[in-house]
Structure 1
């Protein structure tokens, strides 16, 4: 191309930007690859639930009831509280093999000379606050349980690979521990009932669920419910086939049971928790909604990007892999809109890789790219709640490891909760052709009004840099004179294996709990108005534009 042609090309590109953002919208002195931010600040695109980022506890924790006592760990409760408000879903594959067995003597609490946890649970004289302070796991017992849980996870993973699941019996003590954890941490509990208890005519046998409901009501446990996990895989897991119509009838039956209860007549009921609709089971969701849309409060489905046993680090950094989520969401949105327009839609279980996660990837820094992009894209497209699999449980996609130490995705989730509000704004990144497409991904929300950095009209931009190069984000004129608090997250170590680090740095400082009761300070770095917004390679960040004064965010 000659000099005139080159100049003309640049002029056309800049003219396009001026038309899109207004003349003089940008500072033009980038030191890295330049990315131009488009932002429509005139309207709220979507508004998601205040509990948008929610979490799950995998029902595999009940494989042996003694592990439920880990939920009384002070450290775990400290970590959990930072993720509220939110829903706490108790479910997963194992829920459809759970049978409630009250007064199961074999499920007694682990022996300890310390606090007798069972007796504390049943002290009706204690207030809710008093119970939370009293019901703490002794340190010596916690250490023994953590060692045993690490061994148990290996057995559970083998069970997952073999696809052969053993029936699990649980007592009222497990229910008490679960509810206490949710209540003391500040979560709204959603309990997943076993849908594979069937009658001879293949309808749901509700007898065991009614026994559980009766117990929970006697204890005045305020909670919501689900029925079954991934019914489109029942044939594979248990040799039972349930079509959408029958599944809908099962939910209608459960709703009738709830309606007869004083406590649960207005309780939430969510479902059908289907896996990604595909092949011969695509008809399950429409059939279910045609039958039972009036029974549920939100339609739930599950999503994972890749197979945990076949994936690679390249998948976690691939724009093409991340983009597949949009197509999946669109399919579900269209299906629900045709049958039940206006219904709320949840990602009722989701993480990076199915099959328990990808070892050495789903529990490391690189997993944050999939997680943060999913949060941004799901909110932008209209998903109301996203339930992360899991806070604690088997597999490698957990937020907290077997030692109850927080992993990188945990810290990312805490910052998201603190800084990102439910109001979604429309934003996009534009680059010239020299920069690989979609290597920098941006999302924009009003700032969380509960944030200590909140000012009326402030907005929070979060961005992911999938490339190795530094990216400079050129802000529109409307907001580029705002002061900024920057929260830049990078791998906890450097070098060739940095992306597989199980530690994370916030503005250069590795995040660790100073003690079991305290999180570290999570402060941003202040940038003066007009300061370049630079995002290092292979990192992600939150930028609170404190002086944006956007009217729709007041």
Structure 2
């Protein structure tokens, strides 16, 4: 610990630091700086998560008009996706239960209309590539299928209009049925394979028989096509079955849902390719009241069929939430309550079954406009990653990488938003082993400083064995000084501090982010910037600015469980 005199001098040196969300003339006083002590336990691994813990989704609404699946051939989007591996790529959502596979034959016929647009011509040429290629050799395919700039720009402009149409559909609660062809599957699989993501495809569970059992005939048609192309992938069946009655006027109880999964599992067992593939479900909304009963009944009949139990979580309603909700520790703490409820239910019926957050983001209903795609959303996202791992969730799938709504990781121009950069840093710095970290002093009625601790990602060659990564969130406008335990106080620390790219009173609404003072942006469509930390001097206190979050790599921690 520094002496009182040294501490005061440090504060005086910071007197010109402006509070991120305060008046530009406001300065930090002695009373504004919080002193936080944390305890770190490096002797024991509390939990271990899947190496694909942070995963991403593409909303099935992208397939509502098949031409927009061509966006997945964008070199920029592939570059961004590849940087997040290892990860699952879930293709699903509300629209999956309103879409049907409609094969049109291996070869796609060109329209005879000589006035076809560039979009139609390019799309047809891409289809011809797929028709003549065996996609088991993706090295050449990935290059040949890249989206030409002219076509990419046209699709991006048209996608803005399509997004508005899909949002209107969501608001009205009226979902149009859609059909998709082999071409859409090819594009999806090519994107996953070229990016190195493990694809999970969501099948339509609302195709029902007269006895209200799942009609598997269309899914079997799709499976046969994927098998003929030797596509390696996993599966889901249905999205949020607790809302089927509201969305489609069909009620499916937990017992029948479990039977439907058993049926799909039997079909997969008969496949030479998919007999050992993953099957995940039931992708239920936050279990409470009747939803909790649905989950229990589902597990009683279908637990043996699934690889992991999936459920969905959002903190707030995107239509009536506020900036304050995104920064409220009490709102963030509601996640722990929900996770514990799900674990209690699953453990009572199927002990040891892995549990995933199969779809999650900040606000449901497509996200909160002006919040879910801005800097402030990072507080909910990073805290969810820390808390979910701490409580034993094995995989967290972010809604969405690309798709309709406002909770995406990349914008309509396919440029990365703040939550993308946060996710990328998490991937690079945070390992699978969860360690214990506890805030010993946290002033005020609300716990504004939240900390989590993992072994540093062992695949990073930049750090020596035994390094640990502490990540922290400051939900307060005032700077915090974090003191480490004595035996770590002199460790070399590399800091990665993320702040809004703007310093005005609207900073939390920024769609850009700074890393250690430098605004993050792609160098070009195929190149990400170097994400460089700032080395702190041995003995130097960790200073976490107001309204920021950061990763601190303790390079010389020498944690025995991280070697």
Q: Normalization by structure 1: what TM-score?
A: 0.93
Which residue in 2 is equivalent to 1:52? 53
Give 1:523's match in structure 2, choosing from 527, 532, 540.
Answer: 532
Q: Is the 8 A contact 2:254 2:293 kept in 1?
A: yes
Q: 2:208 matched to 1:198?
A: yes
Gaps of 5+ in 2: 12-32, 112-117
Give 2:492's match in structure 1, choosing from 470, 483, 487.
Answer: 483
CA distance in 1, matches of 2:359, 2:291: 18
Cα deviation per residue 1:21-62 (whole Å; 9 max; x = unaligned)?
Answer: xxxxx5565543111111111100000000000000000001
Q: How does 1:110-121 map to 2 (within 5 A)?
A: 110-112=119-121, 116-121=125-130
SS at match of 2:324: helix
CA distance in 1, matches of 2:222, 2:548: 46
Q: How does 1:493-512 map to 2 (within 5 A)?
A: 493-512=502-521
Q: Is the 8 A contact 1:65 1:107 kept in 2?
A: no
CA distance in 2, matches of 1:459, 1:237: 46
Q: Displacement, 1:502?
A: 0.3
Q: How does 1:327-406 map to 2 (within 5 A)?
A: 327-406=337-416
CA distance in 1, matches of 2:398, 2:148: 28
Task: Note closer, same or farther for the CA distance 1:28–1:182 as it changes in structure 2 (3 Å cut).
Answer: farther
Q: 2:470 matched to 1:461?
A: yes
CA distance in 2, matches of 1:464, 1:518: 28
Q: 2:189 matched to 1:179?
A: yes
Which residue in 1 is equivalent to 2:300? 290
Larger mean CA deviation between 448-457 and 228-237 belongs to 448-457
Cα deviation per residue 1:334-384 (whole Å; 9 max; x = unaligned)?
Answer: 000000010100000000000000000000000000000000000000000
Cα deviation per residue 1:382-423 (whole Å; 9 max; x = unaligned)?
Answer: 000000000000000000111101100000000000000000
Which residue in 2 is equivalent to 1:310? 320
Cα deviation per residue 1:43-86 (whole Å; 9 max; x = unaligned)?
Answer: 00000000000000000001100000000000000000011100
Which residue in 2 is equivalent to 1:10? none
Quote the RMSD (CA, aligned, Å): 1.5
SS at match of 1:122: helix
Q: Displacement, 1:116?
A: 2.0
SS at match of 1:462: strand
Q: Is the 8 A contact 2:98 2:206 kept in 1?
A: yes
Which residue in 2 is equivalent to 1:548? 557
Task: Note closer, same or farther for the CA distance 1:53–1:59 as it changes in structure 2 (3 Å cut).
Answer: same
Cα deviation per residue 1:232-288 (whole Å; 9 max; x = unaligned)?
Answer: 000000011111100000000000000000000001000000001123332001100
Q: Is the 8 A contact 2:122 2:151 kept in 1?
A: no
Q: Is the 8 A contact 2:38 2:441 kept in 1?
A: no
Count the aligned residue pairs. 528
Q: Is the 8 A contact 1:107 1:171 kept in 2?
A: no
Q: Is the 8 A contact 2:163 2:405 kept in 1?
A: yes
Q: Is the 8 A contact 1:365 1:504 kept in 2?
A: yes
Q: How does 1:438-453 map to 2 (within 5 A)?
A: 438-453=447-462
Larger mean CA deviation between 112-121 and 483-492 belongs to 112-121
SS at match of 1:110: helix
Q: Normalization by structure 2: what TM-score?
A: 0.92
Which residue in 1 is equivalent to 2:20? none
Q: Displacement, 1:190?
A: 0.1
Q: 2:170 matched to 1:160?
A: yes
Q: Is the 8 A contact 1:115 1:137 kept in 2?
A: no
Task: Note closer, same or farther for the CA distance 1:82–1:488 as it changes in structure 2 (3 Å cut).
Answer: same
Task: Note closer, same or farther for the CA distance 1:182–1:471 as it changes in structure 2 (3 Å cut).
Answer: same
Q: Displacement, 1:120?
A: 1.8
Task: Note closer, same or farther for the CA distance 1:206–1:106 as it changes in structure 2 (3 Å cut).
Answer: farther
CA distance in 2, matches of 1:412, 1:340: 34
Which residue in 1 is equivalent to 2:18? none
